[in-house]
Each structure stands twice: as structure tokens, then as C-alpha cells.
């Protein structure tokens, strides 16, 4: 029987973090969830609070943390444009100071660290699909830069700690992910469309809707996190973690209207600044090194997500 590991998950009350905490506990680990609850929500981890091997710390990763752990998953950072643009300076601090503090902790206790990076490091890509050796096309002074450049700097710090201190790091570049526990008002395309469709409100498509995204269901992504952390020291990443199946935003809107049976009309609005026109990961590296690729079909994942939001909206109506 494998030894129980003590695992720290920063941003553990968020969308991805709560699913990761749940999975780690199911595998027999002790889990410490750290969150400042800026975007994380206690309701996401309510079912875990009675587990004796689960602990919650209200803490901001921009300040040092002194605990003893075996592994660190650094997920802390608002990930939706509405949230990360609300306080862009704090967003940059969370990515950069947060990475410095978690890397410092990992170095002190000799822990493995998984850094949750993002496909946004590629900016509006000139390479399609995006491979890990592509350096990106990022606007360093735009409204999205606090997130894009903050995550790029976090990757830099990880690799400098690896080169300078021999720290065991794993860097995963997360592409669009969806599923239960997404925030109702996070402004992301899947949650936006589902909520609008369920309410019978107009569905807002920005631009002509031809821009593409690649949507990965949350359970598939969490599996990729676990597999990335389990690789040996020679594998650091960065590794693309996402679904290579590409879909236009307009196609997504039409699919959600059909699945919900909504009478919502699709309306168009101007495209936001620096919004990427194409997004699709090349996951060859993940297939070869992790033995991983997404298994959940988009329609199945969307049905589960619609069911979740339908329940949430029903609660509000009571």
C-alpha cells in the first residue's frame, strides 16, 4: 500500500482546485487546501470538510506559508477575464509572488511542485495547433497582460528554481476547461452560454463567432494533473493539457441552445481586446509522456455542466 502523502493545493476552493482536492483525498492522501476566497467558494469544498484528512487554510499566496508537505499543486490565481482584470496588479502579484513563495516552500521542504500555467502564454498564436516549443505572441501591455505575463513569469521562476536549485517541477499549460463548479458569473464562454440559454436570455457571441476554442472536461484535466505529478524527475514540462478537438464559439452557442431546448436568440457584440482567434493544443507530449488524452466527449461533458447550472439556478428561484 502506498504511503499517504501530504499534498498542498493552492486555490483549492476554486473550480479546478476543489475537483483536485476531491481526487487526491479519494486516492488516500492528506490534503491541505489553501485559498483566500477571492474567487474560490466554500460551497465547492463543503462535502470535503468532514473528512479528517482534509484541512482548509484561509491564506493569500502572495505571503509566505510555512508548513510541511510532500507535494504542491500551485493553482492559485483568478483565471477568468472578469476576475483577473478587476484587480490586475493583484493578479500579477498572485502569479509572480505566489510562485516565488510556493517555490521557496518546495525548496525548503524538498517537495515536488506542479505549476498550473495556461494556454494564454501563447497569446494570439501564429502557430496552430500550439506546441510547447512555441514562444507565443503576447501583448505585454494589454488588458489581459496581468494574467498572460504573470503566468509566463511564473514559468520562468519554475525553470530557474529547477536549474539553480535542482527543484523537482512540473509545468502544465491548461487550455479551456469546463464542468460542474464553474462560477455562475465568471464570464467564460461555456458558463455564459449555458446560463443565458437556461434563462432564455439572448446569447452573446463576440465578433462573428468564428474564433475557436478547445474545451476539456474537468475530470479529464484532473487526471492529467495527477499523471503529470507522477512523472519522474526528468520530465518537467511545460506540457499542454487540454482537448485537441476544436470548436468555433458560434458552434458552441448553437450546441448549447439545442441541448437546453432554449428559445434564446444569438446576438453579436464587438470582440474584446486581445481575445485570441484560435486555440487548440498539440497534446503529442502529453500522450507520449503521460499516456493521457481526454476521454469525455464534448456533448457528454456539456450535458453534465448544463445539469449543474440548472440545479444552481433552481436554487436561486426558490
Give the catalytic positions in this structure: 147
Q: For residue 118, what is the enclosing H or E element? A: strand 112-118
Cell, residue 309: 447550472
- Is residue 195 within 8 A of residue 183, CB to CB? The reply is no
Residues 6+ apart with CB under 8 A from 119: 130, 173, 174, 175, 176, 240, 242, 279, 281
Pick the closest to residue 72 from 12, 31, 113 (CA basis): 113
* Rounded-to-integer distance, Cα 306 and Cα 193, Å: 10
Beta bridge partners of 213: 247
Helical ranges in the chain per DSSP H: 15-26, 81-86, 88-109, 145-165, 189-199, 218-229, 249-260, 284-290, 298-317
* Residue listed under C-alpha cell 437556461: 198
* Rounded-to-integer distance, Cα 219 and Cα 313, Å: 23
- Is residue 228 within 8 A of residue 285, CB to CB? The reply is no
Residues 6+ apart with CB under 8 A from 314: none
Pick the closest to residue 211 from 159, 276, 265, 163 (CA basis): 276
* Rounded-to-integer distance, Cα 65 and Cα 101, Å: 7
* Residue listed under C-alpha cell 464587438: 270
Amino acid at each position: 500500500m502506498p504511503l499517504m502523502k501530504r499534498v498542498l493545493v493552492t486555490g483549492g476552493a476554486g473550480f479546478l482546485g476543489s475537483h483536485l482536492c476531491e481526487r487526491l483525498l479519494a486516492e488516500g492522501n492528506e490534503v491541505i487546501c489553501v485559498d483566500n476566497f477571492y474567487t474560490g467558494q466554500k460551497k465547492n469544498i463543503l462535502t470535503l470538510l468532514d473528512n479528517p484528512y482534509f484541512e482548509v487554510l484561509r491564506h493569500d499566496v502572495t505571503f509566505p506559508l510555512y508548513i510541511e508537505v510532500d507535494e504542491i499543486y500551485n493553482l492559485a490565481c483568478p483565471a477568468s477575464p472578469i476576475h483577473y482584470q478587476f484587480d490586475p496588479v493583484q493578479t500579477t502579484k498572485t502569479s509572480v509572488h505566489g510562485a516565488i513563495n510556493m517555490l521557496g516552500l518546495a525548496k525548503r521542504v524538498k517537495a515536488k511542485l506542479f505549476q498550473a500555467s495556461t494556454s494564454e502564454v501563447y497569446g494570439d498564436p501564429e502557430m496552430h495547433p500550439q506546441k510547447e516549443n512555441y514562444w507565443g505572441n503576447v501583448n505585454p501591455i494589454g488588458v489581459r497582460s496581468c494574467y498572460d505575463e504573470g503566468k509566463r513569469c511564473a514559468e520562468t521562476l519554475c525553470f530557474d528554481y529547477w536549474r539553480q536549485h535542482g527543484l523537482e517541477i512540473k509545468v502544465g499549460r491548461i487550455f479551456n476547461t469546463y464542468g460542474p463548479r464553474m462560477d455562475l458569473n465568471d464570464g467564460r464562454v461555456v458558463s455564459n452560454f449555458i446560463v443565458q440559454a437556461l434563462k432564455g436570455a439572448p446569447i452573446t457571441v463576440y465578433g462573428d463567432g468564428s474564433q475557436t476554442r478547445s474545451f476539456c472536461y474537468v475530470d479529464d484535466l484532473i487526471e492529467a494533473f495527477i499523471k503529470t505529478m507522477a512523472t519522474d524527475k526528468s520530465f518537467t514540462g511545460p506540457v499542454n493539457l487540454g482537448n485537441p478537438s476544436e470548436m468555433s464559439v458560434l458552434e458552441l452557442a448553437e450546441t448549447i441552445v439545442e441541448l437546453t431546448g432554449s428559445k434564446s436568440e444569438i446576438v453579436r457584440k464587438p470582440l474584446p481586446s486581445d481575445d485570441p482567434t484560435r486555440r487548440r493544443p498539440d497534446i503529442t507530449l502529453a500522450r507520449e509522456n503521460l499516456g493521457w488524452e481526454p476521454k469525455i466527449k464534448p456533448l457528454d461533458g456539456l450535458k453534465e455542466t448544463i445539469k449543474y447550472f440548472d440545479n444552481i439556478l433552481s436554487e436561486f428561484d426558490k
